[in-house]
Structure 1
Amino acid sequence: MSSDSEIRYRHGAITIAGTTINPGEQATVAIPYGTYSSYETVHLKAHVRVSKKPGPTLLVTAGIHGDEVNGTEIVRRLMKEKFIKRMSGTLITIPVINAPAYSNRSRYMPDRRDLNRLFPGAPSGSLGARLAHTLCEYILPHVDLVIDLHTGTVNRANLPQLRVSPGDKEANRLAKIFSPPVLLIASIREGSFRHACSKRGIPVLLYESGEALRLDTPSIRFALRGIRSVMRELGMISKSSTKRFKLQPVVCKKSLWERAPMGGIFTPLVQLGRAVNQGDTLGFMADPFGDTEIPIIASYDGILIGRTNEGVADEGDALVHIGFASQQETAEDRIHESAGNFPDLPDEEDDHPVHTDPFADQL
């Protein structure tokens, strides 16, 4: 690990909500924070593995939004990796933070509130506020680094990307080690999990890829490779466990959504990962009666990092997400070099054989 790292090395047992996990042990801790309308208790469940060897404590989370199942699958696969048994430090994984939303295949809490706007929460607030408080109160005090896994919303796909805040030096350093196709420098939204971590001085890598309620291979494999690379950099796993991927991500310091100028049928004309110039046609809106067509024009130079997959839109709906790329002239080639170095698995190890390709929007 580099000498300028802010990540601490720890050693010894940790105690979470009354459960003690000693070095060399693992346990699933279920922390109650409320009851459903059916009077069943709802828990925040975290799997904790403490190594006999000293090292940082990494928290990998998914499912703050209950329909973002790519992250849950990434955590599931991470916990199955053979190198986890030989690691140093502590790994805490939460495959589903928002269990009520996950059970309903919904983005939101049962009261229709967004959990990622309720942090740090309150012990006597809404169910979501209590969940946020439980995560902050019982888990975060033990943590040195967070990797938080997300996707786009329903019918809105994201190119694999990491988002970090501009002032988080350690997160920016480790983001380049993670090496996603795109690194977006994004301000922190108040009330988000990332904001709560920032308040405690915990670096956060926020991974966005794919769309809600769908699994796709690139999203899963880019994340697993990135997590392994970060653990390797932190000294949690040996250098022989994984090789470092040296391709530098395309850095975007700002982004915007091009929105529908009218309601109607949306036809996209540009794929994710493509470079566009100001004035390029990204697609067009048409009224269902065939009288009007309006092109969607790029307002700025950049890279397509997100796009709706819905064929219809109301006026003002977000259609295409453009990241303002540094080194615009080489950005598309670098993204496609990422695709060309797509993490592969032997057939006997691949338990997700149906591949979708967000770079070409094809099966």
Structure 2
Amino acid sequence: PRLLLTAGIHGDELNGIAVLHRLAATVDPAKLAGTLTLVPGLNPPGLLQSTRQWTPDWSRSAPNLNRELPGKEGGSAIADFAGRLWSRLIRSNADSAVDLHTQSRGTAYMMYAFASTPRTRRMAELVAPDIIKMDKGDKGTVENTLTDDGVPAITLELGRPEMFDDTMIARAESGLTNLMRELKMLPGKVTPPPAGLTVANDIVAVRARLPGWARLLLPIGSAVKKDQPIAEVRDAFGRSLETVVAPADGRINMITTDPRVAAGDTIARIVWWSPDPACQNGC
């Protein structure tokens, strides 16, 4: 088996890099069957600039490398970079893959996986996140470009950006080790998915109607009911402007960590399971 683990395609999303450091230190090659390829930094320009985007210099507006695969060698700068990643590193080293992320600046996720097929759902279950979102995904991502090319892949989101969170890192290391056991790459018993795992196939953003200072009323991971208060938005002097409520029943999988909000900004996201057959693998 050839398992590809990648991190740092967004330059401010760092927890996955530490996960790969730990696996590099703990996986014993003498006990490993197959090939484990670790790429702790797909986006060097973004890492150097501490920005989500791919940019060789400081820029307010730059392309997202995780929308550019499989790229094209000899094309534009980013198409050529993505093409080299795809043809020379990513595709040739993978029978299955996990791309590690966090949320972006000013926001946070739970430990959260994206999957798009029954096989990738099984992979996500073995990694043991808090939430799996069945999701058709975006064109040009590592996950979806590989899956569409016959290589099952998932995206694993690990909390907050621009930090090393030891709890998230340890959970991801344990989950990926469990996946390698299921792939017969490492010895040991495969741990079943956790009982409290939430599987969702639909999502909605909870947005501020007015600009101001947002204060969350519920922690990330909370189960919510439709019209339940989730946050308050206050003006410059702390006077209440609005109470933001849940638009649907579900579970909070993402929150803003920056209290400064503009009109229309996302304060949280809620996931749930839709019974619509068309949403089986994501709406």
TM-score (norm 2): 0.90
Q: 2:192 and 2:30 mapped to 1: Cα distance? A: 23
Query: Of 282, 289, 293, which aligns to 2:230?
Result: 282
Partner of 2:21: 76
Are the aligned partners of 1:83 and 1:237 in contact in 2 as well (CA < 8 Å)? no
User: What does residue range 91-170 of structure 1 map to in structure 2 within 5 Å?
Assistant: 91-110=36-55, 112-139=62-89, 140-165=91-116, 168-170=117-119
1:307 equivalenced with 2:255 (yes/no): yes
In the TM superposition, residue 245 of structure 1 has moved relative to its aligned partner by 4.6
The Cα offsets for residues 107-135 of structure 1, whole Å up to 9 and x where unpaired, read as 11116111111111111223322221112
State the AA in 2 paired with 1:200: D
Change (3 A) 1:92 1:314: same
State the AA in 1 paired with 2:73: P
SS in structure 1 opposite 2:121? helix
Larger Rg belongs to: 1
Change (3 A) 1:284 1:74: same
Partner of 1:228: 177
Partner of 1:294: 242
In the TM superposition, residue 205 of structure 1 has moved relative to its aligned partner by 1.6
Query: Of 191, 199, 203, which aligns to 1:244?
Result: 191
Partner of 1:18: none
Are the aligned partners of 2:3 and 2:93 in contact in 1 as well (CA < 8 Å)? no
Q: 2:182 and 2:157 mapped to 1: Cα distance? A: 21
Q: 1:131 and 1:252 mapped to 2: Cα distance? A: 34
In the TM superposition, residue 284 of structure 1 has moved relative to its aligned partner by 0.9
Are the aligned partners of 1:251 and 1:326 in contact in 2 as well (CA < 8 Å)? no
SS in structure 2 opposite 1:231? helix
In the TM superposition, residue 82 of structure 1 has moved relative to its aligned partner by 4.1
State the AA in 2 paired with 1:104: Q
Partner of 2:281: none
Partner of 2:278: none
1:196 equivalenced with 2:145 (yes/no): yes
- Higher RCO, 1 vs 2 (CA within 8 Å, ≥6 residues apart): 2
State the AA in 2 paired with 1:202: V
Gaps of 5+ in 1: 1-55, 328-363
SS in structure 2 opposite 1:244? coil
1:254 equivalenced with 2:190 (yes/no): no
Partner of 1:343: none
SS in structure 1 opposite 2:129? coil
SS in structure 2 opposite 1:135? helix
State the AA in 2 paired with 1:134: R
Gaps of 5+ in 2: 276-283
Partner of 1:23: none
SS in structure 2 opposite 1:148? strand
Q: 2:87 and 2:27 mapped to 1: Cα distance? A: 31
SS in structure 2 opposite 1:88? coil
Q: 2:176 and 2:144 mapped to 1: Cα distance? A: 21
State the AA in 2 paired with 1:125: G
Q: 1:174 and 1:98 mapped to 2: Cα distance? A: 25
SS in structure 2 opposite 1:157? strand
Q: 1:85 and 1:258 mapped to 2: Cα distance? A: 49
Q: Percent identity?
A: 28
Partner of 2:130: 181
The Cα offsets for residues 300-334 of structure 1, whole Å up to 9 and x where unpaired, read as 0111111001111000111101111589xxxxxxx
Partner of 1:347: none
SS in structure 1 opposite 2:28? helix
Aligned residues: 268
Are the aligned partners of 1:136 and 1:196 in contact in 2 as well (CA < 8 Å)? no
Partner of 1:57: 2
Provide the alpha-carbon RMSD of the alignment: 1.7
Change (3 A) 1:281 1:84: farther
